[in-house]
Amino acid sequence: MPSIDVVCIGNAIVDIIAKCDDKFLEDNNIIKGAMNLIDSERAELLYERMGPAIETSGGSACNTAAGVAGFGAKTALFAKISDDELGKIFTHDIRAIGTHFESTPLAGDPPTARSMVFVTPDAERSMNTYLGACVEIGPEDIDEKIVADSKVTYFEGYLWDPPRAKDAIQLAAKIAHENGRIVAGSLSDSFCVDRYRSEFLELLRNGTVDMIFANEDEAKSLYQTDSFDEAIKQLGQDCKLATVTRGSKGSVVVSGGELIEVAIDKVDNIVDTSGAGDLYAAGFLYGYTQGKDLKSCAQLGNFVAGKIIQQLGPRLQVSVAKLAKEAGLIS
């Protein structure tokens, strides 16, 4: 029996979050709802124009690791930081939630990655990410023993942006499969899917990825279709297990010809959608690694996603284990 539930591989990012109106996004050519990649010069310009902000650790797969750890499960993380204050903050937060994180920080430049996250009045978040130290992640950052000892190895699709991260994932997937473990990934963002569609499809079709997490837009983008049903059908053919989140419509799980639709409780007070997908994956993976059935996994995913959108930022400020117990979802 592996001793770690989920090991995640992702971009280590500190989020800098401020509210803004839609005009700000337009004026600054920020694609709404997307992860916009920016260079250090644009990062400085946008920060100058940004309103008062709060800082919190972020990063898609890092948020998932923190979410799984919040349930009390065993997690580890591979991600690249630099030896600076934001790197220290990132390291503190992920370790404080109980995730094993022993990445060697870069000495000096580039600095730890940051994403300026603008939240519009409709609670949608638009990210502007300067990848910084994340561009240096590679196969040497994978601790093979940890992968071999983890039930699930999970990575984010965003890792196709840094140059050598995909090599790290290929290595991790190989080790995981050699040890009979599961490899899971996320599609991250419909624009990210657009950048790497053929590679993502290949990952699914050649069996590198056993379990894929997507939202409706990403699934449609992957198969270049406007039809949700068509996207689901193709996902079912390409992948052993796929989950697709649909916002207020809940989520769908497709596995072995079976399609499970799971509704989500209505959330009245949506503050910030940051981390909704990441935390859905966290809830699902927690359930999955505890041996729960797929419907229960999706219910846990919906539950955590519903919690994260009621606060600012993608790391839960509440005890998800306590809340899930109170809701009768876990014992």
| Structural tokens at position 6 | 């989920």
Q: Is 270 in the site for a copy of itself (CB under 8 A)?
A: no
Per CB under 8 A, the list member of 31, 96, 259, 263 interacting with a copy of itself is 96
Contact call for residue 326 and a copy of itself (CB under 8 A): no
Which stretch in 50-58, 135-143, 146-154, 288-296 sits in contact with a copy of itself by CB under 8 A? 50-58
Q: Taking CB under 8 A as the rule, does residue 267 contact a copy of itself?
A: no
CB of 54 to a copy of itself, least distance (A): 5
**CB of residue 108 to a copy of itself, shortest distance in Å:** 14
Does 93 contact a copy of itself by CB under 8 A?
yes
Q: Where are the alpha helices (DSSP H) in the chain?
A: 22-27, 40-49, 60-70, 85-96, 144-148, 165-178, 190-205, 216-222, 228-238, 276-289, 294-308, 320-326
Check residue 315 for interaction with a copy of itself (CB under 8 A).
yes
- Please, which residues have CB within 8 angstroms of residue 7's CB and are 6 or more apart in sequence? 65, 75, 76, 77, 78, 146, 147, 150, 152, 153, 154, 172
**Minimum CB distance to a copy of itself smaller for 16 or for 165:** 16
Q: Which is nearer to a copy of itself, 18 or 135 (CB)?
A: 18
In the complex, least distance from residue 254 CB atom to a copy of itself, rounded to whole angstroms: 33
- What pairs with residue 244 in β-bridges? 214, 252
Q: Is 66 one of the binding residues for a copy of itself (CB under 8 A)? A: yes
What is the C-alpha separation between 184 and 287, in angstroms, rounded? 14
CB of 318 to a copy of itself, least distance (A): 8
Select the residue interacting with a copy of itself from 47, 255, 290, 327 (CB under 8 A).
47
Residues 6+ apart with CB under 8 A from 8: 61, 62, 64, 65, 68, 75, 76, 77, 78, 79, 154, 155, 156
Structural contact between residues 59 and 13, judged by C-beta atoms closer than 8 angstroms:
yes
- Site for a copy of itself, rule CB under 8 A: 18-19, 47-48, 50-57, 66, 84-86, 89, 92-94, 96-97, 312-313, 315, 317
